[in-house]
Amino acid sequence: MSNCMVAQSGGPTVAINASLAGVIKGVTDSAKYETVYGSVNGILGILNDHILNLSEEMAKDASYLDTLKHTPAMFLGSCRFKLPDFLDDDSSYSFIFKQFERLDIGAFFYIGGNDSMDTVLKLSDYAKRIGSDVRIIGIPKTIDNDLMVTDHTPGFGSAAKYIAASMLEIAHDTFIYAVKSVTIVEIMGRDAGWLTAASALARNGYSTAPHLIYLPETDFDEKEFLADVRDLLEKQNNVIVAISEGIHDADGNYISAGESQADSFGHSQLSGAGKALEYLIKDNINVKVRSVEINVLQRCAAHLSSQTDLDEAFALGEKAVAYAAEGVTASMVTMNRTSDAPYTIDYQYAEIKNIANEAKSVPRSWINERGNDVTEEMITYLSPLIQGEPAIRYENGLPVYMDVSHLTRH
Amino acid sequence: MSNCMVAQSGGPTVAINASLAGVIKGVTDSAKYETVYGSVNGILGILNDHILNLSEEMAKDASYLDTLKHTPAMFLGSCRFKLPDFLDDDSSYSFIFKQFERLDIGAFFYIGGNDSMDTVLKLSDYAKRIGSDVRIIGIPKTIDNDLMVTDHTPGFGSAAKYIAASMLEIAHDTFIYAVKSVTIVEIMGRDAGWLTAASALARNGYSTAPHLIYLPETDFDEKEFLADVRDLLEKQNNVIVAISEGIHDADGNYISAGESQADSFGHSQLSGAGKALEYLIKDNINVKVRSVEINVLQRCAAHLSSQTDLDEAFALGEKAVAYAAEGVTASMVTMNRTSDAPYTIDYQYAEIKNIANEAKSVPRSWINERGNDVTEEMITYLSPLIQGEPAIRYENGLPVYMDVSHLTRH
C-alpha cells in the first residue's frame, strides 16, 4: 500500500472540488492506496510543505464528501506557478520527488486546465527520466472547455448552465420596457467561444434571446454588427447580444475598451468588449443601450451548478485513482461521448503529451455563415451538459460550503 | 360586483410578480370583485388600450399563479412614464378614469417603487377631485428598500439573498491564491445602502468577507479607505470590499469613473465606482486588484430568491384587494415588524401622501463610527429577510418562468 497526493490549479470552477471528492473516494475505496494528501495552493504546497491529510479530515465528518462536491473554487487553493524546464533547473523537481518519497506517494493527481496539464507533462517527463514509478495523472477542469481529446471539461457544464439561466433572466429584465433597446452581454472566453455559445440555450418558446452571438473563432466586423442590430431593431424592440470577451477584428485586434497586460503564462488580461460595443451602438444608433458583464460568478456560482457536470467531475476523480492503480501514468482522464440522445459518455484516458499546451476551439461549422449565431449541432452538443439540479444545502438563507480557513490562515 | 385593474411599474425585482399573483388570488377569492385586468407597461397600457384579462388566462392553466410567483421582472411590463400634474393637464387622467368606467373597475392596484407611488398619489387626488369611488392602492416593491413607513419592501429580501450568496461565492473564488489581493464588489444603490449592507450576511465561521463596507449614507474618504486597506493587507492576503454604486466624497461628488446623465425622473445614471476604486488601489498599493459589478442579476435572478420575500409579496397583493374591498383608498399596503426573533410582521396600510417621493436611508447608527462597516442591529434587521428557498421548477436544465411574449409581440 502506498499513498496519493492531489492538488488543484488554474482558475476556479464549481466542479473542481467534485473531482477532488472523487479522488478522495477513489483512494478510500482502493485496495492499492491508503492515505490521500492534499497539497495546498497547487504544486506550491509540496514545495512549501503545506500539505493536508484529507483521509483524516474526511473521517471526522460524515457529510465531508457531499459538501466538498458542492463547494465552488478550489478547496485546496490554486497557484499560477509554472515549473521551469528541468533541463534548465531541476531543483524544484528533485524537491517534489523527495517529498513524494517521504510521504510514500504512489500517485499524484493534478486537477486543472491547460497550464496545469503542462505541469503534469513536465512531472511525467521528469519521473521517466529519474526512473520514478510515481503515477502522474491530470484531471481536467476548465470553464473554457478548451482542452483537447476530451469531449468536454468538468466545470464547463455548470458555467454554461449559469450563463443560459442568467441570459434568460436578463431577457425577462429587458422585455419589460416597450422602447427600443440594445443589451450587450459579455461572457468569459478569450480564445474559445464555448461559454458564449451556451447563451443560446436560453432560447425557448417565448424568447429568442440572445438575438446575436459573436465568438472569438470568427472575425468581428463592426459594420456588419451595426447592420445586424439595425435590421433586428426594425422587427422588435429589444435586441440582446451575447459576445465573448475575446472577440477581435480581421487583423486580430481585440474589440476592447480596456488595456492589455500579459500574465505569467503570456495571456493578455482583457476587459471591456461589452463596453466597447455599448459605446459603438451609442455613437451610431439612437437607442437605449447597456452592457452587462457576466462576471466571476459564471465560474463560482455553485448554487446553480449542473448535476451532470458535478457527477462527471466526481467520476473522473474516481477513474483517475483506478487508472493509476492499474499503472497508467503521464496521462489525463477524458470523456468520450458515445451518444447525444440519450446522452452517454465513456471515461477513458489519453497521453498527456497530446493534450498539454493545445487549445480546442469551436469548429467553424458550428457557427453560422454570417458569424452571428451558432448552429443546431452546437445546441445538440451543449444541451446534455447543463441537465440536472443538485440539492444544495442552505443554512440561515445561504448555501453551505466547505470551511476554507486553511487557505486564509497564516 | 365590480372588477379590478392591476399594473406594474419601475425597475424589476424577483418578487413583483408574486404581488401580482397575490392580487389575482385576492380578486379570485373576493366576494366583491369579479374579474382582474392587467394593464401592460404600467399606466401606459390603460392609455394605449393594451389590457389583458388575467382571470381568464389564469383559468386556463392550473400552475399559472405558482409559475407567476417565481417569474422575475414584470409579467405585465413596466414603464417610466410620469403623469403630469392634473392641474396643468388632466387629459390622461380623464382617459384613465373613462377606461375604469368602461371596464367597471372598482379598484386599481399599482405595484411599484417610489416613482410609482407618485402615480398612486396623483390618481388618488384626481379620484377625490372628480368624486370617483375607484379605490387606488399602491403595493410596494423595490430592491432598494427605500420606501417610507413599511419595515422593508418586497424584492429587497431576494436581492439581499443574491448579494450575500454571491459575496460568499466571490470569497471562495478569491481565497484560492496565496498572494496579496484586493477585490472591490460594486452593488446597486444610488442613495440608500441597504443592498450593500446585505453583503455582510455572507460572513460565517470561516470567512469575514466583506472586510470593508461603504454605503452612500456616509462620506467616502479616499485616504481613510487606502489606510484601511493597507492595515488589512498587513494581517491577511485577500481584502474584499463591498461598495454602493452611490458612494460619494464629503462634497457630494460621486466616486465614479463614469459619466453622469439624468433620466426622466432627474436621477443620475451612474457607473464605475468599483472601477474608480480599482484604479485608486492600482495607483497607490502594489497588489493584484480587480473589481466586480454585481450586475442586473441582483434584481432578476429569480432562481435564487428568498421564500420569505416571495410569501410577503404575495400576501401584500392579497391584502391590497381585501383593503380595497373594505373601502380603503389613497394608500399603500405596508409591513410592520412586530418581532425579530421569531420574525413576525403585521400587514397594514398607510396613507399614500406620507410615502410618495420620500426615500428611506440607512440610519447612521447602523453604520460603525469609522463608516467602513455595518453594526449588529443591521444584521438583526436583515437576517430574517433572506430566509427560505422556493422550489423552482426546472425543465431542460433551466428555470421555468412565465411566457412573456405579450411584451415582445407587435
Q: What percent of chain A clears pLDDT 70, i.e. is strictly above it?
A: 96
pLDDT-based confidence at A410, cuts 50/70/90? Answer: low
Contact A404 B304 (CB under 8 A): no
Q: Which of B286, B260, B288, B287 is nearest to B273 (CA)?
A: B260
Query: Is A144 noted as a catalytic residue in this protein?
Result: yes
Mean pLDDT, chain A, integer: 94
Q: How far apart are the first and last CA of chain B?
A: 33
- Torsion angle, CA of B229/B235/B239/B243, rounded to 10 degrees? -50
Question: What residues form DSSP beta bridges with B86?
Answer: none
Query: Could you give the CA distance from residue B321 to residue A51 in angstroms, rounded to a whole number?
Result: 63
Interaxial angle between packed helices B273-284 and B222-235, expressed in degrees from 0 to 180 and rounded to the nearest 10:
60
Query: Could you give the CA distance from residue B77 to residue A10 in angstroms, rounded to a whole number?
Result: 43
Mean pLDDT, chain B, integer: 94
pLDDT-based confidence at B271, cuts 50/70/90? Answer: low
Q: What is the pTM of this model?
A: 0.95
Q: Select the residue from A201, A398, A405 to test the B interface by mutation, using most B Cβ atoms within 10 A.
A: A398
Q: Which residues in chain A are contacts of B155 at CB distance < 8 A?
A: none
pLDDT value of residue B357: 73
Q: In this structure, are residues A97 and A336 in contact, taking their beta carbons and an 8 Å threshold? A: no
Contact B175 A77 (CB under 8 A): yes
Using the Cβ of B400 and the Cβ atoms of chain A, whether some distance falls under 8 Å is answered with no
Q: Which of A115, A118, A144, A228 is catalytic?
A: A144
pLDDT value of residue B350: 96
Q: What is the pLDDT of residues A385-394, one digit of tens each?
A: 999 999 999 9
Q: Select the residue from A75, A76, A172, A232 to test the B interface by mutation, using most B Cβ atoms within 10 A.
A: A172
Q: Which residues in chain B are contacts of A12 at CB distance < 8 A?
A: 172-173, 176
Question: What residues form DSSP beta bridges with B291?
Answer: B184
Average pLDDT of the residues in A332-353: 96
Contact A172 B202 (CB under 8 A): no
Contact A73 B383 (CB under 8 A): no
Question: Which H or E run contains B100?
Answer: helix B91-102
Q: Name the minimum distance, in Å, from the CA of A319 to any CA of chain B.
A: 25
CB–CB contacts below 8 A, A to B: 179
Spatial neighbors of B339 by CB under 8 A, at least 6 apart, are none
Q: Name the minimum distance, in Å, from the CA of B131 to any CA of chain A.
A: 33
Sheet holding B344-351, edge to edge: B51-53, B33-39, B2-8, B105-112, B135-140, B331-339, B344-351
pLDDT-based confidence at A403, cuts 50/70/90? Answer: very high
Spatial neighbors of A101 by CB under 8 A, at least 6 apart, are none
Query: Could you give the CA distance from residue A121 to residue A139 in angstroms, rounded to a whole number?
Result: 12
Query: Could you give the CA distance from residue A254 to residue A272 in angstroms, rounded to a whole number?
Result: 10
Question: What residues form DSSP beta bridges with A184?
Answer: A241, A291
Query: Could you give the CA distance from residue B105 to residue A188 in angstroms, rounded to a whole number?
Result: 50
Average pLDDT of the residues in B233-259: 90
Query: Could you give the CA distance from residue B406 to residue B409 in angstroms, rounded to a whole number?
Result: 5
Query: Could you give the CA distance from residue A150 to residue A308 in angstroms, rounded to a whole number?
Result: 16
Question: What residues form DSSP beta bridges with B213?
Answer: B242
At A401, list the grid cell: 460550503
Residue B195 corresponds to which amino acid?
L
Query: Could you give the CA distance from residue B277 to residue B272 in angstroms, rounded to a whole number?
Result: 9
pLDDT value of residue A271: 52
Q: In this structure, are residues B196 and B213 in contact, taking their beta carbons and an 8 Å threshold? A: yes
Strands (E), B105-227: 105-112, 135-140, 181-187, 212-214
pLDDT of A369 above 90: yes
For chain A, give the number of residues.
410
Query: Could you give the CA distance from residue A196 to residue A362 in angstroms, rounded to a whole number?
Result: 11
Q: Name the minimum distance, in Å, from the CA of A389 to any CA of chain B.
A: 7
Q: What is the pLDDT of residues A53-103, one digit of tens each?
A: 999 999 999 999 999 999 999 999 999 888 999 999 999 999 999 999 999
- Grouping H, G, I as helix, E, B as strand and the rest as coil, residue B186 is strand
Q: In this structure, are residues A160 and A198 in contact, taking their beta carbons and an 8 Å threshold? A: yes
In this complex, which of B72, B173, B293 lies closest to A72 when CB atoms are compared?
B173
Residue A338 corresponds to which amino acid?
T
Count of CB atoms within 10 A of residue A325's CB? Answer: 18
Q: Which of A181, A253, A179, A240 is nearest to A214 (CA)?
A: A240
- Among chain A residues, CA nearest to B13: A173
| CA A331 remoteness from chain centre | 19
Tell me the ipTM for this assembly: 0.94
pLDDT of B265 above 80: no
Range from B256-260, B349-353, B404-408 carrying the lowest mean pLDDT? B256-260
pLDDT-based confidence at B268, cuts 50/70/90? Answer: very low
HSE-up (13 A, CA, CB side) for residue B93: 22
In this complex, which of B175, B237, B292 lies closest to A295 when CB atoms are compared?
B292
Using the Cβ of A168 and the Cβ atoms of chain B, whether some distance falls under 8 Å is answered with yes
Contact B297 A166 (CB under 8 A): yes
Q: What is the 3-state secondary structure (H, E, C) of chain A?
A: CEEEEEEECCCCCCCHHHHHHHHHHHHHHCCCEEEEEEECCCCHHHHHCCEEEHHHHHHCCCCHHHHHHCCCCCCCCCCCCCCCCCCCCCHHHHHHHHHHHHCCEEEEEEEECHHHHHHHHHHHHHHHHHCCCCEEEEEECCCCCCCCCCCCCCCHHHHHHHHHHHHHHHHHHHHCCCCCEEEEEEECCCCCCHHHHHHHHHCCCCCCCCCEEECCCCECCHHHHHHHHHHHHHHCCEEEEEEECCCECCCCCECCCCCCCECCCCCECCCCHHHHHHHHHHHHCCCEEEEEECCCHHHHCHHHCCHHHHHHHHHHHHHHHHHHHCCCCCEEEEEEEEEECCEEEEEEEEEHHHCCCCCCCCCHHHECCCCCCECHHHHHHHHHHHCCCCCCCEECCEECCCCCHHHHCC
Q: What is the pLDDT of residues A19-59, one digit of tens each?
A: 999 999 999 999 999 999 999 999 999 999 999 999 999 99
Q: Which of B100, B18, B110 is nearest to B65 (CA)?
A: B18
In this complex, which of B176, B292, B401 lies closest to A172 when CB atoms are compared?
B401
Higher confidence at residue B35 or residue B256?
B35
pLDDT of A395 above 90: yes
For the annotated catalytic residues of B, the residue numbers are 144
Question: What residues form DSSP beta bridges with B242?
Answer: B185, B213
At A131, list the grid cell: 526512473
Range from A133-142, A229-238, B187-196, B270-279 carrying the lowest mean pLDDT? B270-279
A-proximal residues of B, 97-156, CB under 8 Å: none
Contact B300 A386 (CB under 8 A): no
Q: In this structure, are residues A39 and A76 in contact, taking their beta carbons and an 8 Å threshold? A: yes
Count of CB atoms within 10 A of residue A290's CB? Answer: 17
Query: Could you give the CA distance from residue B406 to residue A175 in angstroms, rounded to a whole number?
Result: 10
Contact A178 B304 (CB under 8 A): no
pLDDT-based confidence at A269, cuts 50/70/90? Answer: very low
Contact A295 B294 (CB under 8 A): yes
Q: Select the residue from A13, A76, A141, A176 to test the B interface by mutation, using most B Cβ atoms within 10 A.
A: A176
Q: In this structure, are residues A307 and A204 in contact, taking their beta carbons and an 8 Å threshold? A: no
- Among chain A residues, CA nearest to B78: A176
Q: Name the minimum distance, in Å, from the CA of A129 to any CA of chain B.
A: 31
